[in-house]
Amino acid sequence: MDVAIAVRGLRKAYAGRTVLDGIDLDVAPGEIFALLGPNGAGKTTTISILTTLLRPDAGSAAVAGFEVSADPVEVQRRIALTGQSAAVDDILTGTENIVMLSRLSGLDTRAARARASELLERFDLTDAASRRVGTYSGGMRRRLDLALSFVVAPEVLFLDEPTTGLDTRSRRELWSVIRSLADSGTTVFLTTQYLEEADHLADRIAVLHDGRIAAEGTPAALKSRIGGDVVELRDAHDAVIREVATDGSVSGLRRALDLLDESGAEGIVSLRRPTLDDVFLSLTDQTPSSSRGAIIEESA
């Protein structure tokens, strides 16, 4: 299989409002692919179509080699979906949650308990195995939710904003789990509100805006579209007074500092590199706040 997910001309509208206006995507096996976009851009709609929960109005989508509309059962056998809220039973223990789903998936009692032990260890939940899930932290609940997705190991894992509501430490712990899943061969398709998350995790990113893919590429390639490094001069209130573009080399930095020195302006100098925030704001027709009011010059 050359691609794990193939999307062509996908369209979807609600009550006359077009949400997806003919999007095309390819995701390679074992890749972590992030779909970004403003609220209401159609990220969850895209995942709902790819996981057979919603039918498209037009276009085609294939997951793990099967068309989502023509072969939904075959697609469902090869995927797992973790939504924005953890789908776990708070009354049961971690072990009982996994054993229950394993039995529902066709495993006998011994195999179900063995699977539970394996998954609890894999997702670093062994110490909490006998505790009721209602006592788990948000990060632990999320890891258990992911563990349940792997009772029957999926070829493709869909994560719809998997770290929403988690604290910074829990988010980073979950990033490590997601990366390990991809390293073991699982294809991961995720949406996220956190651009840092996409930058840290994703092999490739697509930005969805006005129903279309506005840009697609690796995080580095997308950031390079914005330009190179910028030397900033900020005042005592941390407002940007002046910016000078530079190629990041020693000589380029010297030229930038010379330009700032010649201007006679006083302040604190810092080096800023393009971020996914800059990319996102640029592609969605917004202006990064860090550039408002600043004078941007070329150092060479």
- Where among 200, 222, 244 does a domain terminate? 222
Same domain, 49 and 194: yes
Same domain, 114 and 210: yes
Residue recorded with tokens 């779909």: 35
**What pLDDT was estimated at residue 86?**
65
Q: Specify the CATH number for the domain of residue 92.
A: 3.40.50.300
* Residue range 17-50, pLDDT digits in tens: 999 999 999 999 999 999 998 888 899 999 999 9
Q: How would you label 250-288 residue by residue, b for 16+ Cβ within 10 Å and e otherwise?
A: eebbebbbebbeeeeeebeeeeeebbbbbbbbbbbeeeb
Work out whether the CA dihedral 84, 87, 92, 93 comes out positive or negative.
negative
**What pLDDT was estimated at residue 143?**
87
Same domain, 80 and 28: yes
How far is Cα 91 from Cα 93, in angstroms, rounded to an integer? 7
Task: Report if pTM > 0.85.
Answer: no
**What pLDDT was estimated at residue 233?**
76
Q: What is the mean pLDDT of residues 80-85?
A: 78
Same domain, 10 and 99: yes
H or E, element range at 227: none
Same domain, 236 and 121: no
pLDDT-wise least confident of 55-64, 78-87, 115-124, 248-257: 248-257
Same domain, 139 and 236: no
**What pLDDT was estimated at residue 287?**
42
Using a CB cutoff of 8 Å and minimum separation of 24, what contacts does 193-200 make? 193/161, 193/164, 194/163, 195/36, 195/275, 195/276, 195/277, 195/280, 196/276, 197/34, 197/163, 197/171, 198/34, 198/36, 198/276, 199/275, 199/276, 200/175
- Where among 160, 193, 222 does a domain terminate? 222
Query: ∠200-48-7 over CA atoms, to 5°?
Result: 75
Phi, psi at residue 214, to the nearest 5°?
A: -80, -30
Q: What is the largest CA-CA distance in the chain?
A: 77
Same domain, 203 and 97: yes
Same domain, 145 and 254: no
Same domain, 204 and 253: no
Same domain, 173 and 126: yes
Range of the domain at 235: 225-298
Same domain, 292 and 152: no
Residues listed for the chain: 300
Q: Is 262 helix (H, G, I), strand (E, B) or coil?
A: helix
Same domain, 155 and 270: no
Domain total of the chain: 2
- Where among 177, 192, 222 does a domain terminate? 222
Would you say residue 201 has pLDDT above 70? yes
Q: What is the mean pLDDT of residues 283-298?
A: 47
